[in-house]
Structure 1
Amino acid sequence: MEVGLEIRGLKNSLVGPFDCVMGPGECIAVTGRSGAGKSRLLRMIADLDPHEGVVAFRGYLQNEIAAAQWRRQVMYFPAESGWWSDNVGDHFANRAEAEPLLHAVGLSEDMLGMSVHRLSTGERQRMALVRGLLLQPDVLLLDEPCSALDAVITARVEELLSRIRKAGTMIVLVTHDEDQVRRMADRRFRVLEGGRICEDMI
């Protein structure tokens, strides 16, 4: 298998160690009870939280790459997205490029003229996903990306993610949705009591 993302002994005081090697287009799911450390694990992979261990992308070590460059390639999508401007359109340099992705996840380009605070939680989730995908990251670290979506819109988001995977993008997916694990993931890792992580059958 061609190695894309390699993680060895990743841990902090609350979760880990975590070992995983991912190839292009692969999706792994991370599950476990609330507060077990799933989001912390994503943040460590993104180099947002202090940690021990080795994380590498295509052979380049995380600690040898500028943080901004790493986070553009290995991009974290939190459950609650951040917005530096209340004008949605300010976050999109090229609206024409955004439109096909917006339509793919059930959003209208008219929403680019709205205020962030007027968007529902699910609309903000999808808008943040589109915003990140426009930067063409190689690895998506998705924290409950469909938690506020109904079944129809979830299916549209999953369809878009599946298309992106076919182009080689890797996904680490944190989700409580067992059906989504079965639909999306090639492998599953479960965060157990005390932050221990084990690979589990899907």
Structure 2
Amino acid sequence: MEPFTTLTAVAAPLLRENIDTDAIIPSREMRSVMGTGLDEGLFAGWRYTAIGSREPDPEFVLNQPRYAGARILVTGANVGCGSSREHAVWALAQFGFRVVIAPSFNPIFRNNCIANGLVPAALPEDVVRAIGEALENAETPVLTVDLASQQVSLPQGRAWSFEIRPDARESLLNGLDPIDQTLLLKPAIEGFRADDRQRRSWVYSSVDR
């Protein structure tokens, strides 16, 4: 997983509350369990003019030229609610997003973000609204997200401190997914097994054959 330190990038405001995982990636777009090829299905119900179509809806934020290449998504409260499909985060990541800024996150969606290298940055609702309005009115809609200092800032200098769990922050800063974190415990696991083999040798009899 790619470590995250600081990102300055185009930010897209999608200020809707309760965006569920079916809106992020409709079930009809989930054609793979390998987590690839999902970017085209991201927000497919809003991004395209009709179900099954790939004709872009020019009114949708991600189809507007000023937000091309967006890597930061600014959205409403309770993002990622609904079913616990990890495809929603895979689709966001494959589209290019590294940060989701919102007042609150569905817990499973938030954990899936962290496990896949996306920063779930929580800010108060009024701050998120102010950031969204600033992006809509800016000549260039850009934000900087500094994970080390836990700050989101506008080019004009306005900055806000965001919330993120300390363990999630460390995982993202160091680029550690759940498997990487488990491998860090390998010496302790091997030490436990060696001691346990001495204490309860019969448990390992079938393994040692």
Structure 1 length-normalised TM:
0.32
Work out which of the two has the higher radius of gyration on C-alpha atoms and give 1 or 2: 2
Structure 2 length-normalised TM:
0.31
